[in-house]
Structure formats: structure tokens, C-alpha cells
Amino acid sequence: MKTLKTTEDLAEYCTYASGFDYVTVDTEFLRERTYYSKLCLIQLAVNGDAEDDAVLVDPLAEGLSLEPLYELFRNEAVVKVFHAARQDLEIFFVNASVIPQPLFDTQVAAMVCGFGEQVGYETLVRKIARQSLDKSSRFTDWSRRPLTDAQASYALADVTHLRTIYEFLRDQLRKTGREKWLREELMILTDPETYIVRPEDAWKRVKSRTTSGKFLAIVRELARFRETYAQKNDVPRNRVFKDDALIELASTKPRSEQDLGRSRLLLREARKGKIAEGILNAVQDGVNCPPENAPKPDNGRDKLQVNPALADLLRVLLKAKAEQTGVAQKLIATSADLDSIASGARDVAALKGWRKEVFGGDALRLCNGEIALSAKGSSVKIVNV
């Protein structure tokens, strides 16, 4: 197996790969001790039987530039095939502001083709490629050199079997006319906004039962400080302080390091120095926040007047549509979607795009009293009213 360690060798391979319809891609990285993923290995494969058609790229090799790979990613004549691409794409976007185009994600395609939700690569290898995987190297340290033969074999398997999986799913999408479905699902993955984390919005990820504007203002400032500190110092946000400690701080409103010392949940290293200073300043900024500038919680769902009988009927309709199309129910519509529709909301994902074709159109007709549901044996039948 070949490992590319120079820019020249990588450029030669990428030029070669540009002559194919697609290239399969995977990465190995570490993130346990950093905010940003540390790219440790890249695997590439084109559709061929030669030994050098599948290669490893060592991004840790001295002097290696990944620009030839990024040029391949920008080449719209070559489909870039990943499995569960989000973390891989985040790495390339953060490192080089590049998102591979066109993109094919086999995990998303498999869901559209009826393989269930978030189907794993190992499952697809077994069901489509009719092979098994040795996963013993899954949790190894990919930053250590040299790589063992077992590591290299494991890594290459993530792109060699992917060729068979891609071709099968691509053909299935063409046969069923669901290529448009896949394109819709990939819009989020190919949107740069997906990979931009803004500290001022970090509070929205913190779960709190309190909806007081003053309390949320402190949560916002603490979350903003934590995110900014984590990004600047490249440490996981939970290494600064965890969410439960953040909620505790917003409740106790510490004013000094002595107050921080009485915290039950704050990490010891966060009770002094720059982190402690940042916490105290964030709490004070939150306390001083004018009411009109405080965060406004989204209470929309709490105000929904859900028609429970209609929601139950929508669940029956969804189950019937999922069985009919072979697509997982949760991919078509979530329970929250169904409750929203039953309450009269119409700005719902299940009522847009391919989901509207599969389910949303009939869901609206059901809500409007234009159709009814009837049991026929073990199946559900739609009856026009």
C-alpha cells in the first residue's frame, strides 16, 4: 500500500484521479484534547484494480501541502464520495475554506434508499459489498508514526469498499428517481454556515429550564466567553467548563474568585487565572445587560395547541408512507414535525421538498379533511373524502 508524503506525489495522484468519474475519501483525526480536529491521515481511492489506485496521504509529513487535494475537491467533473461526511468536511473547511463539490455521502444516500437512519459504514460493507471489516484499529492514535500495517489496512478499507457502496447506491437512486432527494439532503452539508461556530450564538446549545431574560443573558455571556477561549486556545469547550457548571454560575452569579471557589461543579483550574477572570467578567456583563438586549427564548412550541387526535392520525399516515417508500420514518418527519402540523404550523421541514411529495402533501390533505385513513389487512389505505 502506498503512502504519499510529498506535495509532488500528491499532485501526481490527484492529476491521475481527475481522470475518473469519482474518488472516495476518508480521514482519520484526533479531537479529544483540542477544539479543532487534528488531521492525521487521508485515504483516497479511484475506481481501479491497480495497487496504487487506493492510497494514503500523510498530512503530518514535513513540507507536504494539501493544495493538490483541494484542487481535486474543486474539480466539479469528479464526484467526491464520503461516508458520514460532516466531520471530514468540517476539517477541510476549517483548514482551507474548501468544501468538496460535487459531493456524495453514502450514509445519507443509504437512508434515502431505505437502509434506515444513520446507517454505519460497517453495515453497508456487509450488506452491499458482502465483506467484513476488521475494526480493531478504530481507536488507535493516528498521530503516531510510523503507522502499523494493521492501521494502514484498516484505513484503506474505508475507501476501497466505499467504491462498491457508492456505485450501488448511485444506481439505486437513478432507478428510483431519488437523486433529487439526495441533493436536497446534502444542501446542509455543503453550506459553509454549517461549519462556522459563532461564540455569540453558543448559548443556544446550552439546555436550561429557566427562561428568564436576565438568567439567559448571563448564560449567553458565559457561553460566549467559553467558546472564544476554547477557539483561541484550541481546547475542547468542556475543558474550560462544562454546561452544568455554566448553569450553576448563571444561577449563583459569582463576583470574586472566592465565590468561584465555592462552586460544586467548576473545574479546579477554572477557579483562578484567565478563565476565572473571563467567567467573572461574563457574569457581570450578563447582570448588566439591559432587558431589551437579553436573549429571547423560543417559546413557540410551548404555545402550540396540538390536536392530539390529528397528531395520532398523522403518525399512522407517516408509518404507512415510510413502509411504502422504504424510508425511515424519522427521516421523513420527526414527532415534533407531526405535532407542529397538527397545531396548524406550516413552516415545517416535512412539508417541503421531497418530504412533501412523499408525505407532506397527503398530511395537509388529511388536516383539511380531504382524505381519510382506512385499515386494509395489515396496511393503511388512503380514502378520498
Every domain of the chain and the residues it spans: 2-195, 199-293, 303-384
Fold for domain 303-384? Answer: DNA polymerase; domain 1 (1.10.150)
Candidates 119, 121, 158; CA nearest to 137 is: 158
What type of residue sits at position 122?
E
199-293 CATH fold: DNA polymerase; domain 1 (1.10.150)
DSSP, res 148: P
Neighbours of 275 (CB within 10 A): 21
Return mean pLDDT, the chain: 94
Residues 6+ apart with CB under 8 A from 114: 325, 326, 327, 328
Q: Which backbone phi and psi does 122 adopt, to 5 degrees?
A: -60, -40
pLDDT-derived band at 209 (thresholds 50, 70, 90) equals confident
Q: Cα–Cα distance between 340 and 334 in angstroms, integer? A: 10
- In this prediction, residues 342-351 reach a mean pLDDT of 94
Q: Mean pLDDT lowest for which of 242-246, 247-251, 303-307?
A: 303-307
Q: Which of 156-160, 162-166, 244-248, 380-384 has the lowest mean pLDDT?
A: 380-384
Whether 302 shows a pLDDT value over 60: the answer reads no
- pLDDT tens figures, 159-176: 999 999 999 999 999 999
The helices-and-strands tally (H runs, E runs) of the chain is: 17, 8
Q: Are domains 2-195 and 303-384 of this chain identical in fold?
A: no
Residue of 70, 87, 69 lying closest to 13 (CA atoms): 69
Predicted TM-score (pTM) of the model is 0.90
β-strand 22-30 against 79-82: which pairing, if any? parallel
Sequence-ordered list of residues with C-beta below 8 angstroms from that of 153, at least 6 positions apart, any chain: 1, 134, 137
Q: Which CATH number fits domain 2-195: 1.10.10.10, 3.30.870.10, 3.30.300.130, 3.30.420.10?
A: 3.30.420.10
Instruction: Report residue 349 as a C-alpha cell.
Output: 421541514
Q: Pull the grid cell for residue 195.
A: 461549519
The most confident of 137-141, 324-328, 350-354, by mean pLDDT = 350-354
Give yes or no for residue 244 having a pLDDT over 70: yes
